[in-house]
């Protein structure tokens, strides 16, 4: 594993380029240890918690809004990346706290005209136009989120609650919410990064594993941007990480 941003040079205010000027990774780091619910025992590392800004010609799309701890950093990063008065749409990969808690603060500062989400167990509070969308598991749907900015909403089989992975066909980036989150554990702790999938122990994971590989390989994904953890970059690297994740799912499941 060799996680790293596609462009290693940090942009203004701590945001990073994921794919050129098209996609930027926003957010900041947390200390990942046993006080964090998704951390396996015996691990203590720095882990980024990410949201992503996709730049278009008529406006931009923010995929997730980050955690409340990083509200000030994310607002500052958006101020540096958005033009004054630029239209902004928000896409939530899940209606979970780490995805939507900064929505009120972002709406108070920027011109948010729509919020796209699936599910609705924790329906986000929004003053913008809510756009609830349903995508059947194992399928995808192309959505023009902003004028001239069409994204593919992928509904993966690897999920508990309704989840979207967002694929940008222009850049080849796949934003994977709470999947592919093992990139910040380092080579020595690589197995620990995949420990979270123990909850699949009583499941037949063959179809789930195949879906992970298919989503990445069929789209020739050039970068994988998880909601937390370091991104992965390059066609070969992304394909290898999909294979590794699929192997971990097959290993833990009932075959």
Q: pTM for the full model? A: 0.91
pLDDT at 45: 85
Burial of 21 (0-12, 13-18, 19+ CB in 10 A): exposed
pLDDT at 5: 41
172 domain-assigned: yes
245 vs 249: CA distance, rounded Å = 6
pLDDT at 204: 92
Average pLDDT along the chain? 89
pLDDT at 40: 76
Work out how many domains the chain is built from and give that number: 1
Q: What is the pLDDT of residues 39-65, one digit of tens each?
A: 777 888 889 999 999 999 999 999 999
221 domain-assigned: yes
Q: Are 192 and 43 in contact (CB under 8 A)?
A: yes
The DSSP string of the chain is: -----SS-SB-GGG-EEEETTTEEEEEEEEEESTTSTTPPTT--EEEEEEEEEEE-SS-EEEE----GGGHHHHHHHHHHHSPTT-EEEEE-SSSSHHHHTTHHHHHHHSEEEEEEES--TTPPP-SSEEEE----TT-EEEEEEETTEEEEEE--SS-SS---EEEETTTTEEE-TTSS--TTS-GGGHHHHTGGGGGGTTS--HHHHHHHHHHHHHTT-SEEE-SBS--EESHHHHHHHHHHHHHHHHHHS--
- Residue entry with tokens 């900015």: 149
5 domain-assigned: no
33 vs 244: CA distance, rounded Å = 23
43 domain-assigned: yes
7 domain-assigned: no
Query: What is the separation, in whole angstroms, between the first and last Cα of the chain?
Result: 26
Name beta bridge partners: 52. 25, 63
19 vs 89: CA distance, rounded Å = 19
pLDDT at 212: 97
6 domain-assigned: no
pLDDT at 190: 56
**pLDDT over 70 at 171, yes or no:** yes
Identify which has the larger pLDDT, 113 or 8.
113
137 domain-assigned: yes
| Structural domain that includes position 171 | 12-252
Q: Do the strands 87-91 and 60-63 form a parallel or antiparallel pair, or are they unpaired? A: parallel
Q: What is the CATH number of the domain that holds 163?
A: 3.60.15.10
95 domain-assigned: yes
26 vs 178: CA distance, rounded Å = 16
Q: What is the pLDDT of residues 191-242, one digit of tens each?
A: 666 667 777 888 899 999 999 999 999 999 999 999 999 999 999 999 999 9
Q: Are 90 and 106 in contact (CB under 8 A)?
A: yes
């Amino acid at each position: 594993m060799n996680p790293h941003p596609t462009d290693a040079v940090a942009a203004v205010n701590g945001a990073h380029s994921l794919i050129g000027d098209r996609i930027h990774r926003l957010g900041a780091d947390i200390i990942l240890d046993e006080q964090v619910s998704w951390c396996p025992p015996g691990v203590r590392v720095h882990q980024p918690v990410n949201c992503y800004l996709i730049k278009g010609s008529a406006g931009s799309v923010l995929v997730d809004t980050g955690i409340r701890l990083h509200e000030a950093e994310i607002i500052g990063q958006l101020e540096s990346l958005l033009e004054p008065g630029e239209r902004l749409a928000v896409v939530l990969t899940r209606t979970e706290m780490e995805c939507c808690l900064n929505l009120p603060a972002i709406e108070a500062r920027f011109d948010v005209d729509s919020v796209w989400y699936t599910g609705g167990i924790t329906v986000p509070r929004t003053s913008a136009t809510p756009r609830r969308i349903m995508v059947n598991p194992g399928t995808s749907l192309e959505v023009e989120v902003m004028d001239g900015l069409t994204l593919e909403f992928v509904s993966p089989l690897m999920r508990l609650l309704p989840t979207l992975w967002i694929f940008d066909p222009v850049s080849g980036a796949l934003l994977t919410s709470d999947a592919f989150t093992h990139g910040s554990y380092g080579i020595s702790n690589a197995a620990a990064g995949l420990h979270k999938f123990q909850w699949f122990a009583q499941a037949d994971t063959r179809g789930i594993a195949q879906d992970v590989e298919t989503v990445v390989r069929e789209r020739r994904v050039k970068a994988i941007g998880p909601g937390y953890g370091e991104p992965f970059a390059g066609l070969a690297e992304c394909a290898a990480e999909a294979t590794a994740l699929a192997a971990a799912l097959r290993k833990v499941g009932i075959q």
